Chain A
Amino acid sequence: MAYSDFIQVNVVTGFLGSGKTTLLQRLLHSPDLQDTAVLVNEFGEVGLDHHLLQSVTESTLLMDNGCLCCAIRGDLQGALTELFDQRERGDIPAFKRVVIETSGLADPVPIAYTVLAEPILQHHFRLGNVITTIDAINGASQLNEFEESVKQVGVADRLVVTKSDMAAVDDVARLREELQRLNVSAPIFDAAHDDLSPERLIVEDLYDLKGKMREVEYWREQEDHAGHDHTEHDHDHGHTTGVTSFALTFDGALDWTAFGIWMTMLLNRHGDRVLRIKGMLNVAGQPTPVLINGVQHVVHPPLHLEAWPDDDHRSRLVFIVRDISRAKIEASLAAFNGLANVEVAADRVA
């Protein structure tokens, strides 16, 4: 079975009162999402009416190394395995995707780790999009006060601003600017004014045939008008201080082995501060680009695109990091990649 055919697991996260359930309610009405199973951590005040709805109690099993992001969420492991068994037995319809609604303070990364690293789940499920809701009225102060909120924004694939019709226009604009600064690669949707397409929010992702090209195009657009480093600001960012996102472009092909060595070394030492790495790489010896996608220590399997989107064959990498400078990342990656060229040259001499 192709990886794209695995059951897609999406995560809807965001602070209490930021409109997660309302968003889900709205999306689940769409015929596009009828083949979706929904897992919620608690049945909230806003009732969800869906034929494949189950509740879980959030519990985390810490791994031996004590790393919080590399933790299996035991509740999800059990719930997803049970859902899969029911589906196999024909007790429930053969759903194609799962949407998990987290509690307000939940860290989405252990969910990603559970899907990608749990020995049984990884053969049937793949991680889809992390969708984060941010309330236009309280979102800015939550970002300032709560590290959890910054992380939910940093690891997101889609950002949805809610209640913008109840907030001042200037405040909404400032919030969007801050969200863009924190996460340059995630498209921002406005729940009050945009037509929220389930396809764009959930169905399309990096592993969806149509979605992956659209993702790549979006990163490139963002890089064009937000490619500069966003760390320079003259006002207080509270908990968002130190979190920044930037896009790097490299001319020439990158050595895949050197890149792998660099990335594993980076994530071993700084995985807790690397919220996201996404990129499209021009790999030496490969005719088409390779997509990479990582959330903290959790890295998706690399994906080969069938073709380059256009004539621009440069490598592009988007980083969302805490307290790591763009210059350091650039210098380090260039040094590792340069090493591969020395290796090639040395081999030729030998």
Chain B
Amino acid sequence: MPTVQRERQGRTALVNRVLDHYGLKLKDWSGSSYVLKGQTGKSAMVDNLSQMWAEAEGLTGRDFDPLDDDLIAALNSRRD
């Protein structure tokens, strides 16, 4: 698999570990964009990570805060 594709796959998998906390999932779209999907079927196309966080907040109406204690605890629990 070409390096760029492998990197995209790795990035998508890692982002999904974070998005899981909010009930969202990111999927690669033809190797050029991504589709962000919510549990209710709402979705949005995004080109990059910076754009994705704002879209994720729009889809869920929640703040995606990396400093949130609950998120940090959830991420840490995956290591246990």
Which residues of chain A have a CB within 8 Å of any CB of chain B?
65, 257-258, 260-262, 264-270, 324, 328-329, 331-332, 335-336, 338-343
Contacts and interface: CB of A to CB of B under 8 A. Distances in A.
Q: Is the interface of B mostly helix, strand, loop or mixed?
A: helix
25 contacts: A258-B14, A265-B65, A266-B67, A267-B50, A268-B53, A268-B57, A268-B64, A269-B65, A269-B66, A269-B67, A270-B67, A324-B67, A328-B67, A329-B67, A332-B66, A332-B67, A332-B72, A335-B72, A336-B75, A338-B78, A339-B18, A339-B75, A341-B79, A342-B17, A343-B10
A258 B78 CA distance: 15
B66 A339 contact: no
Interface of B: 7, 10-11, 13-15, 17-18, 49-50, 52-54, 57, 63-67, 71-72, 75-76, 78-79
Contacts of B71: 335
A214 B52 CA distance: 36
Given A266-B66, A270-B67, A332-B67, A338 B79 contact: yes
A212 B47 CA distance: 32
B14 A257 contact: yes
A269 B75 contact: no
Contacts of B67: 266, 269-270, 324, 328-329, 332
Given A264-B53, A332-B66, A338 B76 contact: yes
A268 B75 contact: no
